[in-house]
Amino acid sequence: MMARWRTLGLLCVTLLTVESAFAEQPLESAYADKVVPFLKRHCISCHGAEKPKGDVRFDGPAPDLTDPKVSEKWRMARRMLAQGEMPPEGKPRPSADELLAAMNWIEDAAARAAVVTRGGVGRRDRRAGSGNRARSSQGIGRCVGQVIP
């Protein structure tokens, strides 16, 4: 029982730490201020509206990373940026600051989306027959045993 409370306390501290890191700049404005210029300089020429390579486009609005297909596309882009595979040889290389800003935005957006799609930290549903399900503010339910060990 004590271990469960300790785990819950650690989870709360972790979530508060993550939330304070996100508070620096909202994701939407960070996307417009840092990611869109990065995409225009380093990605849109190959992954824009005209003949997008690999059928991958980055010229649209801020992505909804709660969609698994969209999330995987952006995570793959982050991996390729991190490994130096993108932008390809012969294309202008981003500065370290530009690269880190884009990669950090993808990581932060994916982390937030994971909280939403996995039920986040919700309240316990105490109704009879509820099966002790946790409900998030988005109405997504998960068994408490899956959220809290």
Query: 114-144, pLDDT tens digit by residue?
Result: 888 876 544 444 445 444 444 444 444 444 4
Q: For residue range 17-49, what is the model confidence (pLDDT) as tens digits?
A: 544 444 556 888 999 999 999 999 999 999 999
Q: Is the pLDDT of residue 72 over 60?
A: yes
The reported pTM is 0.62
Domain range list for the chain: 24-117, 122-149
CA distance 107 to 84: 17
Asked if residues 122 and 134 have their Cβ atoms less than 8 Å apart, the reply is yes
Strands 123-124 and 141-143 come out as unpaired
Residue 37 has a pLDDT of: 96
Residue 80 has pLDDT above 80, yes or no: yes
